[in-house]
Amino acid sequence: MVKFLKLHFVSLLITLGIITSILIVLPNKEINLTKASKVESVIQSRTSGLLPNLNKSNQDIIDFYASIINDKQLTLFGSSEFNYSDYASYKFFPSKQGKQVFGFGHAHHQHLSILIELLAVDMYLKNSKICIFLSPGWFDNNGGTNPSAFVEFAKPELLNKIITGKTKKEYKNHIGKYIYYNNKNFTSTPKEFAYLSDFYLSNHHSNWLKLKSKTIRKIQNLFGYAYYLDEVDYEIRLNYLPKIEWEDRLDEISLEAKNVFLDRITNNDLFVSDDYYSTYLIDENGKERSSLIENIDINNSEEYKDFKMVVKYLKEKKVKASFIILPLNPYYYRELQLLDPLIDSITSSLAQENIPYYNMFVSSKEDYEPGLLRDVMHIGDYGWMKVNKYLDSLYYGN
């Protein structure tokens, strides 16, 4: 028996020796990522409106790139406040003034997704105009992007641009780290996910993870043909909206929108629409709901780390960017002042980097202007008009 085990032990040792030698001998070069890139001539089809994500067709990606490239077009990044209201900036400006404004995103479209989208259009950012709608709700429960939203917004085409472009190491690491730690939440992953995850490992301070990354790369190098990324570049013909003569009535329209909304409220004192109140704010016992805000640990908030990355990147690229900090309804949320330190950190970060912002957040009922929100967290027509006034003065000098 001892002799039998001894023979196996010796064989195992020899095997490990051979495997280690093979791994040492195999070249540790970076995988040659791209084949010669293909250039396609395409045309921008959307000059305004709302695009929830890039999933429907290739034209969505082209229109997203075009929106960033087109210096006459303002691109808005946001989440669940983006609806089909006629007062939403991406509908109001194009239809009333002939100004090109394009909204991009829907619920769960947060800082990490926005960072990826911006990094992917790195080479086009020079003349672009960008505004990010930041919701304090993103920071709830430590915040951060959920895996379902990540796979929806972090399209392989965008990651491909990040990998093959001149993206700085720290941004690739940031995305790679997310993919590495969320790998168990994905059922299928494209090559781009594997590359960025491996990139994170190869730069990790743990020697074990570095070794793991090296082993992966050496083995994948044996099958280099399969790990190429197909790169496609677009030559986009931009489109422009004809100008519309516009009589400046922003204040008048704003007031009108506010009064119409408030006059319609009949069943609540929370300044939310009747339908919304009866559907969402009355519990099964007929009692009015309310919500208590929880303290946010800014230093450990994933969302805050993502926010800092976005701000850093915008600053580096000198993008004409701005932020809108959205409000929450203080008639529904209790202890909103617990969010004051977060909002202060956000505004001071933006001020420090000279990024303009419009802070609509208030923590007390006294400071809240009824009509800003249509429900407890989404801006209504009047809120949109306030945003329009800000964007008009910032980007169009009015």
Partner 1 sequence: METKTIIKNTLIYLMLVIGGLFLYYLDVDILLHPHKKVEAKSKVNFVYQQF
Q: Tell me, rounded to whole angstroms, the distance of Cα 242 from its chain centroid.
A: 30
| Binding residues among 296-355 for partner 1 as defined by CB under 8 A | none
With vertex at residue 235, the alpha carbon angle to CA 234 and CA 240, rounded to the nearest 5 degrees, is 115
Element (H, E) at 334: strand 333-334
> What's the min distance (Å) between Cβ of 155 and partner 1?
8
**150 belongs to the binding site for partner 1 (CB under 8 A):** yes
The minimum distance between CB 4 and partner 1, in angstroms, equals 9
Does position 255 bind partner 1 by CB under 8 A?
no
Part in contact with partner 1 (CB under 8 A); list of ranges 117-125, 145-153, 312-320, 339-347: 145-153
Q: Which two tokens stand for residue 37?
A: 């890139």
215 binds partner 1 (CB under 8 A): yes
* Interacting residues with partner 1 between 79 and 98 (CB under 8 A): 80
Regarding 61 and contact with partner 1 (CB under 8 A), the answer is no
Is 227 near partner 1 (CB under 8 A)?
yes
Selected range binding partner 1 among 114-122, 184-192, 202-210, 298-306, rule: CB under 8 A? 184-192
Q: What DSSP string runs through 61-118?
A: HHHHHHHHH-TTEEEEE-STT----TTSHHHHIIIII--EEEEE--TT--HHHHHHHH
Q: Is 33 in the site for partner 1 (CB under 8 A)?
A: no
User: Terminus-to-terminus CA distance in the chain, angstroms?
Assistant: 91
Q: Is 134 exposed, middle or buried (0-12, 13-18, 19+ CB in 10 A)?
A: buried
**Cα–Cα distance, 153 to 105 (Å, whole number):** 9
Report DSSP state, residue 307: H
Q: Does 21 bind partner 1 (CB under 8 A)?
A: no
What is the helix (H) or strand (E) element at residue 39, kind and residue range?
A: strand 38-43
- Least distance (Å) between residue 390 CB and partner 1: 26
Residue labelled with tokens 């004051």 = 340
List C-alpha distances in Å: 209 to 48, 192, 270. 46, 19, 53
> Binding residue for partner 1 (CB under 8 A) from 87, 102, 193, 271?
193
Among 181, 246, 280, 396, contact with partner 1 (rule: CB under 8 A):
280
Among 84, 228, 240, 246, interactor with partner 1 by CB under 8 A? 228
Say how many residues touch partner 1, by CB under 8 A: 46
Residues that bind partner 1 (CB under 8 A): 7-8, 10-12, 14-16, 18-19, 80, 106-108, 146-151, 154, 156, 184-191, 193-194, 215-216, 219-220, 223, 225-228, 230, 280, 289, 291, 375
